[in-house]
Amino acid sequence: MFKVLSQLSLRQIMLGTALVCFGLLAFGFYLQHVVGLDPCPMCIVQRYAMVLIALLAIFTVTTGQIGIQKSLTTLIAMLSLGGAFVAARQSWLQWYPPEIATCGRDIYGMIEAFPLQKVIPMVFRGSGDCTKVDWTFLGGSIANWSFLCFCAIAVLSVFLLFRRKV
């Protein structure tokens, strides 16, 4: 795998990373708006991390300065590790749910309890239950797959930082 990656340029790898991130985000929005799965606050944090990784990858593609490319790649590695931490914590909560879930409430409960000017910011924070597993693929929840994707991006970023070819 690393042999194939070593033959690709940094720009090709970062463009692929950005496309994968946007694909994962599109799938998350599909699950939210078509399937009807409400994202929890931890899911929203993971989305923000994924958006930032995609944007930094695009910035890395557009710059030609090696120092800036390495700095952006380091930021991508740090963001992916942060996203992996949040996904790991959510996976832990799903495997060992607490007695009282405190991740948030559903949209209808927010509308009934709060005025509209307070509900709109709450919507962007997420409203689903972080411990609930609504969707699985090959036995893994969304948080489990998110963790694996963030870890792959982190490993790829570290690989790019330490290889000789730019």
**pLDDT exceeds cutoff 70 at 82:** yes
CA distance 91 to 81: 15
More confident residue, 51 or 119: 51
Considering the domain boundaries, does residue 142 fall inside one? yes
| Averaged confidence pLDDT in the chain | 78
- Separation between Cα atoms, residue 105 and residue 99, nearest integer Å: 16
List of residues 6+ apart from 12 with CB closer than 8 A:
none
CATH assignment at residue 145:
1.20.1550.10
Residue 97 resides in a domain: yes
Instruction: Write down the pLDDT at residue 21.
Output: 93
Going by pLDDT thresholds of 50, 70 and 90, the confidence category of residue 159 is confident
- Please give the model's pTM, rounded to 2 decimal places: 0.74
Q: Is residue 126 part of a domain?
A: yes
For residue 83, the enclosing domain spans 2-159
Residue 134 counted as domain residue = yes
Please count the structural domains in the chain: 1
